[in-house]
A and B are shown apart, each in its own frame.
Chain A
Amino acid sequence: MSEIDCLDPVRKALLDDLDEGFAELYGAHRGVVFSTALRLCGRWADAEDLTAETFLRAYRAVAGYDAARIAELRPRAWLLTILMNIWRNCARAKSRKPPPDLREEPVDTVDPREGVEEAAVRHETGDELAGLLALLPEEQRAAVVLRHVVDLPVSEIAEVLRVPQGTVKSHVSRGLKRLRALGGAR
Chain B
Amino acid sequence: MTHDPLLAGLAALAADAPDGLLDRIAARWVRVAGPVGEVFVAFTDEGVAYVREADEPMHAGPDDDARRRFTEGFRRRFGRPLLAATRPPAGLLPALRTGRSGGLRLDLRGATDFQREVLEAVRGIPRGEVRPYSWVAARVGRPGAVRAVGSALAGNPVPLLVPCHRVTRADGEAGEYVFGAATKERLLRAEGVDLDRLRRLAKDRVFYLASDTTGVVCLPTCHNARRITPAHRHGFRTLAEAGSAGYRPCRTCRPTGLAA
Contacts and interface: CB of A to CB of B under 8 A. Distances in A.
Contact of A19 (B9, B14, B21, B81): B81
Nearest to B68: A17
A18 B18 CA distance: 23
Contacts of B22: 26, 30
Contacts, number: 89
A30 B11 contact: no
A126 B25 contact: no
A149 B154 CA distance: 51
Nearest to B22: A26
B6 A59 contact: no
Nearest to A34: B17
Contacts of B15: 31, 34-35, 38, 111
B82 interface: yes
Interface residues of A, number: 38
Given A48-B21, A52-B21, A148-B7, A63 B13 contact: no
B16 A34 contact: yes
Q: Is the interface of A mostly helix, strand, loop or mixed?
A: helix
Contacts of A111: 15, 18
Most buried by B among A20, A111, A148, A151: A148
Interface in A141-178: 144-145, 148-151, 176
A149 B18 CA distance: 17
A130 interface: yes
A30 B18 CA distance: 9
Most buried by B among A38, A39, A52, A150: A52
Contact of A23 (B12, B14, B81): B81
Nearest to B4: A176
A60 B16 CA distance: 23
A30 B21 contact: yes
Contacts of B10: 129, 144-145, 148-149
Interface in A32-49: 33-35, 38-39, 48
B16 A23 contact: no
Interface string B204-216: 0000000000000
Nearest 6 A/B pairs, CB to CB:
A34-B17, A148-B10, A30-B17, A22-B81, A35-B14, A129-B9
